[in-house]
Amino acid sequence: MASHPVKPLPSGHLQLLRRNLITPAVLKPPSMVSAGFKNHHFLGLCIDESAREMRSLRSWSHRRRVSKSAGVSLPVASAEDFPAVSWESWKPDKTTVAPSWSDVIWPAAGAFAAMAIMGRIDNILNPKGISMSVAPLGAVSAILFTTPSAPSARKYNMFIAQIGCAAIGVLAFSIFGPGWLARSTALAASIAFMVITRANHPPAASLPLLFIDGAKLHKLNFWYALFPGAAACILLCFIQQIVCYLKDNFKF
């Protein structure tokens, strides 16, 4: 078999080959490897090794960064490891249908009627220094009139949570007195109570705080469990039935 003469390598290419073989692969950018071996097809083994090094460097560079001081590779977070920022939660739900005039007018009218009736009751109760139209009932009205089929609008959830959380507020005030300890304990116990009894009704969690901070309600003692929360909810449920009937039969 005839042997072909091997042409000597230029000095510059020989130095580049020596440097690529000696320098650690972590410190060698892919551009130097591709520039040194792009147009030369000698020493097939070296070319294959360099090509594999280039592929590994390209895939590795997305996950690791080389420390310039010590020459050690340190793991860092890649941009692809973080989820893309979503702004969908700041926009209205696209799957819901635009509300009709009936969905707007009747719930608003029901809330107005409820607060007006409780306001008249307050005029009767003012000499005794108590009020029926307390702030948590505004949240209850919003739930009953706008989302009557929601779990928190169920009668069981509403009455069990209203009575239980109000009683917890009275008990916490009796043990700890006014202050942050009574408020935090009452709120934690109210949430645990709603979870245990499966009575999910978020507005009821504000009743203990209202009692602890409202000096005019302290005279009610454990009657606070029934008034004003539970008593007012009876009135709200009655008005809710009227609103649901009007929405179903008188649409705009």
Residue 157 has pLDDT above 70, yes or no: yes
Q: What does the pLDDT look like over 71-92, one tens digit per residue? A: 444 455 555 555 556 777 787 7
pLDDT higher for 179 or 76?
A: 179
Q: Number of H helices and number of E strands within the chain?
A: 9, 2
Closest by CA to 166, choosing from 132, 207, 202, is: 207
C-alpha neighbours within 13 Å on the C-beta side of residue 160: 16
Q: Distance (Å, rounded) from C-alpha 125 to C-alpha 216?
A: 12
Q: What does the pLDDT look like over 16-29, one tens digit per residue? A: 555 554 444 444 44
DSSP calls for 130-159: --S--THHHHHHHHHHH-TTSGGGSHHHHH
Q: Distance (Å, rounded) from C-alpha 216 to C-alpha 128?
A: 9
pLDDT band at 54 (very low <50, low <70, confident <90, very high): low
Residue 151 has pLDDT above 50, yes or no: yes
Instruction: Kindly state the percentage of the chain with pLDDT values over 70.
Output: 66
pLDDT band at 126 (very low <50, low <70, confident <90, very high): confident
- What does the mean pLDDT of the chain come to? 77
Q: Which DSSP letter does residue 73 get? A: E
Q: Are the beta carbons of 39 and 16 closer than 8 angstroms? A: no
pLDDT higher for 38 or 167?
A: 167
Q: What does the pLDDT look like over 111-125, one tens digit per residue? A: 999 999 999 999 988
Can you tell me which residue has the tokens 């705009």? 252
Residue 70 has pLDDT above 50, yes or no: no
